[in-house]
Structure 1
Amino acid sequence: MASYTYPEAAAYLRVEERWLRRNISRLPHSKKGRTVTFTQADLDRIDQMHHHEPTTGPLAAPPQPSAVRHPLAHLRPLPSRRSAVRV
């Protein structure tokens, strides 16, 4: 099983090494003593956590038609009771 160091992981993820070091507490990783390493599964998970597809513009994917609507989609919340005028 291959393990990656900070510089190798940063190159793979195309981020700065400094970003990895700053956010290490929120990222999946392994630590042996003071040595931090990343497995391929860790790098894939980091990519999934921080990958965002564009929702507008020329690179956005066209909206997919919803084949099945949720059975409770027509329901709307009741008006707030606090907005009623008290006498």
Structure 2
Amino acid sequence: MTRRLQYPEAAELLGVTESWLRKHIKQLPHKKLGRVVYFTDADLERIDQMHHHEPTTGPLAAAPTPTQSAAPHPLAGLRPLPRRGKALANVS
């Protein structure tokens, strides 16, 4: 059976205050039975992922993506077809 954690237990596991959870509840994944709000382990994992940030500079930053070659994209020359109504009007 899935654990159901209420505000105090969830806040302790996430390392935030209970008031922070209550204040941001509309933006956080959670479950609700009537008026009782609870969090599952999956909800806590999603909250943790929502607030995870990777460094963009420095030694811990992810490796930069290789630059693309100067050659244009193979489909760059394609153009959309004319609208149906206009194509039929020119046929007469």
Alignment TM-score > 0.5, same fold: yes
- When normalised by structure 1's length, the TM-score is 0.67
Partner of 2:13: 12
Q: Deviations over 1:3-42 (max 9, x none)?
A: 1110000000000110000000110000111110000000
- 2:17 alignment partner AA: E
Partner of 1:69: 68
Q: Deviations over 1:27-64 (max 9, x none)?
A: 0000111110000000000000011233346xx51441
More strand by share: 1
When Rg is computed on C-alpha atoms for both structures, the one with the higher figure is 2
Structure 1 residue 28 and structure 2 residue 38: aligned? no
Residues matched between the structures, number: 72
> What residue ranges of structure 1 are gaps of 5+ in the alignment?
74-87
- Could you say what the CA RMSD is over the residues aligned between the two structures, in angstroms? 2.8
CA contact (8 A) 2:5 2:38 kept: yes
Q: 1:63 to 1:37 in 2, by over 3 A?
A: closer
Partner of 1:85: none
| In structure 2, C-alpha distance between the alignment counterparts of 1:46 and 1:8, rounded to whole Å | 14
Partner of 1:54: 55
- When normalised by structure 2's length, the TM-score is 0.64
> What residue ranges of structure 2 are gaps of 5+ in the alignment?
73-92
Q: After TM superposition, where is structure 1 displaced by more than 4 Å over at least 4 residues in a row?
A: 70-73
